[in-house]
Amino acid sequence: MIQHELLNLPTKKFGTGTLIAQGSGVGSWQLLSYQVPINPVHAALLRTGKVFFFTGSGNNPTRINSPFNSVVWDVNSGTFTSQSPPTDPSGLPIDLFCAGQSFRADGRLMIAGGTLQYDPFYGATSAFLFDPSNEQLTAIASMKYGRWYPTVLTLGNGRIFALSGLDVNGNLAINPEIYSSSWRAFSQATSPFELYAHLILTATGQVFYTGGYFAFNNGVSARLLTLPGNFNQRITETPVGALQQPDSGAQAASVLLPPAQDQRVMVIGGGNPNQATNRVSIINLNASNPAYAAAPSLNFARKHHNAVILPDRTVLVCNGSGFDEAGNAATLTAEIYDPIANTWTLTAPANRVRLYHSVALLLPDGRVVTTGGNPRRLNECDSNGNLPGSSPPLPCEDRQIEIYSPPYISQSRPTIQNAPAEISLGNTFTVTTPQAQNIQWVSLVRPMATTHGLDTEQRLVDLPIASRTSTSLSVTLTSNRNIAPAGWYMLFVSNNSRVPSVARWIRIS
């Protein structure tokens, strides 16, 4: 086990971002002694606390019929369990590579689309639900349109919205679909949204396209989508004030800044198409005329990076490169954005360069797991599986697991002794904690489901404290289903020093 710590660094400035690195304020990284058995292109945190990795063919045409394409990782035991692959009527495995994903209210993970064929890529119409209780995939009704690189988003009413992606003929799918008990497509086309378009559910129930995406710059600007009740009606698109450097949205990261009630969305980094930017922009969707404004820049220009909401209400940005998939332009140093201070803090350096197909997600104990990295296909690599000419050697499929411990992990942390297993919108309920007098925040964090730097799931919902005793807190859940969509969440309490507890799982019914 390898652990790095960076201590006693002076305060420095890079670009317009501010680096505050002092003492143990930069956290530490651990490189685990084992690796994921598959190329971990997709990752989701399950309500059991385990992590589901799936990959399908995993960017390797020779594996398109491989049965070994998904595993569940038990974080505590360090073991992996493989699943029976979904198959088509002829018995061949269905390729989940480059599908979309989001959680249903019951905790099952929707996986929609995937790869029908390689080079050129065609999208699959298939859809599946992964059940954490039995750790199995079940086929459901297929979509009308194939979707490769689609965006899948859970709506406040519990339905699933699917946008964009390449169809079964390799053309852009411009008719979105919604899943309830089956899929239904809108008859009228939308703008030609980019592949893996970054979507966020807003407090009004509208869907916000941030201007961030993964591929195919079609010139669609950031905008709000209003979904009609009739599938024969057109989805209304309302552009917002433009994103700074709008042509640099490729391989960016987008996040709904905590808490979700503030409705502030941040777009971080990106490229056009190869050179990365350190641009950071924030938009307030609660404003009467929402428009992006420049925010403090990243210390390092990044693309192919990941953004993770932490329970202390900051945002970790890790992985990525300053130029395309070049390892020599990558940075091992992550950055943490504090929305209250409006500053970036550099972390200790990680051990592994992670670029295309890297993933990162929050664990219930407040640590962040990161893995993956797939800058080239294996057939383009040397006999050791590394990118030819890379120095130091850069694996073409990096399956090593690394865990980041934010500074709060080493602090004295509050604890949750009791909380209800299930709550309803608008309800007030009790959280028991011996540190009740020293708690400033109670939060719900929705588990992540991520791929290609895209995550439509993660959000932190504030639970205002109505009253307290020496050992308990009375808190209230919002009545707005668009702020807190039904499903499973991690409940955290944070003390006056912003140090969070370990999470307790709770379900919004």
Question: What integer pLDDT is reported at residue 18 of this predicted model?
Answer: 36
Range 87-97 average pLDDT: 87
User: 401-426 pLDDT, tens per residue?
Assistant: 999 999 999 999 999 999 999 999 99
Q: pLDDT-based confidence at 25, cuts 50/70/90? A: low
Architecture of the CATH domain 6-20+29-409 = 7 Propeller (2.130)
User: Domain map of the chain by residue range?
Assistant: 6-20+29-409, 414-508
CB 347 within 8 A of CB 314: no
For residue 479, give Cα distances in angstroms to 158, 278, 286, 407: 15, 37, 17, 33
* pLDDT over 50 (residue 453): yes
Question: What integer pLDDT is reported at residue 244 of this predicted model?
Answer: 96
Question: What integer pLDDT is reported at residue 390 of this predicted model?
Answer: 85
Amino acid occupying residue 85: P
Question: What integer pLDDT is reported at residue 17 of this predicted model?
Answer: 37
Beta strands of 339-471 (E only): which ranges? Answer: 343-349, 358-362, 368-372, 400-405, 422-423, 428-432, 439-445, 449-451, 460-462, 465-468
Signed CA dihedral, 381, 382, 388, 394: sign only: positive
- pTM > 0.85: yes or no: yes
Range 439-453 average pLDDT: 99
Architecture of the CATH domain 414-508 = Sandwich (2.60)
Range 443-457 average pLDDT: 99
User: 304-353 pLDDT, tens per residue?
Assistant: 999 999 999 999 999 999 998 888 889 999 999 999 999 999 999 999 99
Question: What integer pLDDT is reported at residue 392 of this predicted model?
Answer: 82
Q: What percentage of the chain carries pLDDT values higher than 90?
A: 85
Q: pLDDT-based confidence at 66, cuts 50/70/90? A: confident
Mean of the per-residue pLDDT values for the chain?
Answer: 93
More confident residue, 355 or 327: 355
- Quickly count: other Cβ atoms within 10 Å of residue 88's Cβ: 12
User: 263-297 pLDDT, tens per residue?
Assistant: 999 999 999 989 999 999 999 999 999 999 999 99
**Calculated CA dihedral for residues 36, 40, 44, 48, nearest 10 degrees:** -10
CB 258 within 8 A of CB 265: no
Q: Do domains 6-20+29-409 and 414-508 have the same CATH topology?
A: no
Q: pLDDT-based confidence at 192, cuts 50/70/90? A: very high
Question: What integer pLDDT is reported at residue 301 of this predicted model?
Answer: 97
SS (H, E, C) 270-322: CECCCEEECCEEEEECCCCCCEEEECCCCCCCEECCEEEECCCCCEEEECCEC
Question: What is residue 425's DSSP assignment?
Answer: T
Range 503-508 average pLDDT: 99
CA 415, CA 412: separation in Å to the nearest integer? 10
Amino acid occupying residue 332: L
* pLDDT over 80 (residue 5): no
